Chains A and B, each alone.
Chain A
Amino acid sequence: MKPRNLIICLLLAGVVGLSVNAQAQTRRFNAKPGLLKVRIEGTSNIHDWQVEGKIIGGFMEVGPNFPTKPGQEIKPGKVDAKVQAFVPVRSLISVEKDGKPYNTKMDDIMYDKFLAQQFPRLVYTLNELVLKEAPKAKDQPYVLDATGELAVAGVTNKLSMPVNVTPQADGMIKITGTAPLKMTDFKIEPPAPAIAGGLIKTGNDIKILFEWVVAEKK
């Protein structure tokens, strides 16, 4: 082999090697059923209300600078991560404060407001993830700023919120977060159920809370 060809081959091999290496460093995690929780809290003129679900489907692909091990050293700055997560609307159920089912009529009103027939899922897509400060102790969660988009009832809005990322010793990663939302931002008129003669009026401000546990896809 001529020296020139040898150089080309080595360069090509290097490029392929780098690519393989980059792929190897991207790790994919999938939602782990049984350990998931989403909760929406709201208000009304008679009492506060809440709905809960146990399904947050989706996946997360992360680069080497995403915390996947407890105590992993991560430098502040942009973190490589791609996330798509979703919640099936009908998996959300109104509950009492103690978690017992509240009222199927309220569930139906909620599904109707979410336009569940046309848009059966709430969908979240991450655009950017930034670590501002590394945790000061090994057992503390990594607090990152997540910027993404949330699609509800056919309307997509930008959503920025802090998320806590806690790598577990067993390899799973727990991600929790809370975000305030307004129903009208998603073109949802706050419900005033007809079954109560329209006397019950819900507030426009709601809060969404989630616990998302993911495990690496083997």
Chain B
Amino acid sequence: MNEKNTTEFNRRDFLRGGSMAAIMSMLGGVELFAQTNQAASAAAAAVQGPSLKMAVIGAGPWGRDVLNTLAKVPQAKVVAVCDNYAAMRTRGAKLAPGAAAVEDYKEILNNKEIAAVVICTATHQHKEIAIAAIKAGKHVYCEAPLAHTIEDAREIAKAAAAAQHLVFQGGFQMRSDPQRHFLLPFIRSGALGKNVMARAQWHKKQSWRFTSPTPEREKAINWRLDKDLSLGLAGEIGSHQIDQASWFLNGRPKAVTGFGNVLFWKDGREVADTIQAIIEFPGGVNMVYTATLANSFDAEYEMLYGSDAAVMMRESKAWMFKEVDSPLLGWEVYARKETFYKETGIFLTGGTKSTQSDVPATVEPFTNTPIWFALTNFVRSATGLAAAAEDFVSSFGDDDKDALMEHLSKVPRQPGATHLDSYIATVLAIKTNEAIKANKRIEIDPVLYELT
């Protein structure tokens, strides 16, 4: 096995979080952060309850990160790892002791013991597997974006909508991050004044190209560089960050202008290695998005700008930068502050918003990252449904299937990207990629955001 990426595909770094806080501390900002992750981790580890037997379908680099993360999720029990490529299958199964290595995902779906699947295959393969999994009665965590076409994304979302007795969660994992949930009401309550713009970036120097022993495998594994199958940087990375802006601004973009070129990795690829996009939200608020595979300066973050303050979000941390003429909130006087060049950032933290400074110096790998929160919530939602079904049947019997389905559809889910959230974010990624490929402005028909 000689399959590797010489510059390492670092979508993982973006999605699982890293050590940017240290860099931000060097630059200086008031940090906004949720209940300490150590506490959350300890509490989650204490969760009592039945485990969820699950399978991971797709054991590439991201699938293996998911496996490593699931190993740290209370109640998650991976019993099978599926990949149609033997080397990936073997490597993946090693990360889940006792798990079966399975070639065909249909074998997973036929296994009644398996209650849930995490789909980590190439984006264009999601539809077939996700819909079949829902039909087989599995809870589904489907990686983001949902699909590479609007039609496929809609079919997945519709199948999920019709199966409300199951958990469907899209892989827009920042929607599960407690830090982001802490920030949401803070920002939506108008703490930044009048929203004026948003900005986000993802900058890394890496090729996205994998080498492999055979041309067929090389073509398959490099699907991200195939313009017919991949949504490029806008889909693989930007979909998460643009979705965050939509979520915080609580609006659906009406147009997007894109630019993209292959500027550095001139290896025959047709998928841009550098992109810019301007996404137009209602009310004249625009988001500027940049992503590149050619330069790593300043890595990745999301910004929201208001007339009173700006907020910077980097993974699970956030800082607020106030305007001198903005009203005093009070608590920020005592809050921890960091200097960012010539600016002072106020550390924004959930729970206290105050002087909390017990950010762990070291974090156990694969925990307290957005994907860890997302998978933990997915597992908890699924076990919650299983418990609810059991309680219902033991209370009322199992004669009335409709009442059971109705009951399960109303059982609260833990925070995560719903089928509709995921569909809308995918539509936005697809339209952004479309604008980038055409190097022009395109309007987004509001009807596209609707599932019906």
Contacts and interface: CB of A to CB of B under 8 A. Distances in A.
Interface in B30-73: 35, 39-40, 42-44, 46-49
A112 B44 CA distance: 13
A55 B43 contact: no
Contact of B39 (A33, A100, A111, A195): A195
B396 A57 contact: yes
Contact of A33 (B42, B46, B400, B412): B400
Contact of B396 (A31, A100, A111, A195): A31
A117 B50 CA distance: 11
B357 to A, nearest CB: 14
B387 A101 contact: no
A91 B391 CA distance: 7
B362 interface: no
Contact of B395 (A57, A95, A100, A111): A57
A98 to B, nearest CB: 12
What class of interface size applies to chain B in its complex with A?
A: 20 to 34
Contact of B394 (A34, A88, A93): A88
A33 B387 contact: no
Contacts, number: 61
B247 interface: no
A86 interface: yes
B403 A34 contact: yes
A120 to B, nearest CB: 9
Interface in B390-408: 391-392, 394-396, 400, 403-404, 406-407
A108 interface: yes
A174 interface: no
Nearest to A105: B43
Contact of A34 (B35, B391, B406, B414): B406
Interface of B: 35, 39-40, 42-44, 46-49, 351, 380, 387-388, 391-392, 394-396, 400, 403-404, 406-407, 410, 412-414
Given A57-B396, A88-B394, A95-B412, 15 more contacts: A31-B396, A33-B392, A33-B395, A33-B407, A55-B395, A90-B387, A90-B391, A91-B391, A101-B413, A104-B44, A104-B47, A108-B47, A112-B48, A195-B40, A195-B43
